[in-house]
Amino acid sequence: MSLRDLYPIPDIDPCWSVPQGFDAVFDWTFDDGRRQMMHLYQKGKDMQWDAVSRIDWDEELDPDNPMEVPDELGGLYYTPVWKKMSDKEKAVARRHFQSWTISQFLQGEQAALICAAKIVQQAPDLDAKFYAATQVIDEARHVEAYKKLLEKFGLAWPMTQPLQTLVDQALRDSRWDMTYLAMQVVIEGLALAAFNNIRDTARNKLAQQVNAYVMQDESRHVAFGRVALRDYYPHLTDKERAEREEFLVEACYHMRDRFEAREVYGVLGLPLEECLEAQMNSGYMQNFRKFLFQRIVPIVRDIGLWSDKIQAAYRDMGVLDFAETDYEALMSNDDRRAEEFDDENRRKREAYVKEVAALGATAAE
């Protein structure tokens, strides 16, 4: 099935080409690599999984509320616009908004797939190439999983312009660390917070599983960016550091404001400006926009981009306190939650086998 056929917006190009110019770097040293980087590489190999067999795809989606997310967590719930909508209109809106969210995850995962492949070529150190190679297959699996989930929605959306703009910058920049900074730190750091929101608030088991398993991988990917950039950034000149910080501030503001879903309002025929204002002023959206930076801020501090300018920007966003977040604890929790779903699926399979065996024994009597 082609997801492009499910787009409610017509005339979307079947592909997007981004011209690039960078050096493919060979590392002739073949040394043992950095201990922490090689640990991530080993973990990346050990934790490969199959999206077809690990996820219980028999779980169905409710067409009126596919991921079973409480309406109170939507930006329009407390607005006159929502109150005026009929039950049928609300059901259509839920399906569109939720599929838009998952579609942006899918679009971001394909971008991460391409960026990881670029990092394999560009990174100067072999241990980074090793880990990035495991990330390539991770991202391909994530694209596969979100595609299968959207097929159950029967609806999909193209990449938003704000996300496309940042991905374009990450791919076009010839400096290898800028791809890391844009993708491994900013885009994937924000994505982790968004995945976390669905994993912990959705009531549909399939939606929870997909996001929990993707998070388990993505936590490692952000840690990979942290290790590589933490070693590299102390060697920057003042000018080079200022360029990275300028990009980081702009990217964070840019991505914070991209969760508008303005395309959905247009397709649904809702008053765009009224809806956007209501969404931005809702308590849920304000908290969500802050929570998006829970994983980015501690990483930014750890890699050494922690100037007054960076701190002032995060203070303005109301997210500076996230600098004290224990990222290792978040990674451990991501692993634990994914393993909980593994245990639940294992129990379901065992119960099914026992049921089939019991039916067979009864029939034989």
Burial track 43-71 (b if 16+ CB lie within 10 A, e otherwise): ebeeeebebeebbebebebeeebbbbbee
Would you state the pLDDT for residue 289? Answer: 87
How many beta carbons lie within 10 A of that of residue 152, not counting itself? 18
Residues 6+ apart with CB under 8 A from 15: none
Structure tokens given for 363: 């029939």
DSSP-derived secondary structure for 115-182? HHHHHHHH-SSHHHHHHHHHHHHHHHHHHHHHHHHHHHHT---PPPHHHHHHHHHHHH---HHHHIII
Which architecture, in CATH terms, is 3-10+34-336?
Orthogonal Bundle (1.10)
Domain boundaries, the chain: 3-10+34-336
Main-chain phi, psi angles of 306, to 5 degrees: -135, 45
- Burial of 121-135, coded b for 16+ CB within 10 Å and e otherwise, reads ebbebbbbbbbbbbb
Contact by Cβ (8 Å): 84, 139 = no
pLDDT of residue 209: 96
> Would you give per-residue pLDDT tens digits along the chain (365 residues)?
689 889 998 888 889 999 999 999 999 999 999 999 999 999 999 999 999 999 999 999 999 999 999 998 887 888 888 999 999 999 999 999 999 999 999 999 999 999 999 999 999 999 999 999 999 999 999 999 999 999 999 999 999 998 999 999 999 999 999 999 999 999 999 999 999 999 999 999 999 999 999 999 999 999 999 999 999 999 999 999 999 999 999 999 988 877 788 899 999 999 999 888 888 888 888 888 899 999 999 999 999 999 999 999 999 999 999 999 999 999 999 999 999 999 999 998 888 778 777 776 676 66
Predicted local distance difference test score (pLDDT) of residue 363: 65
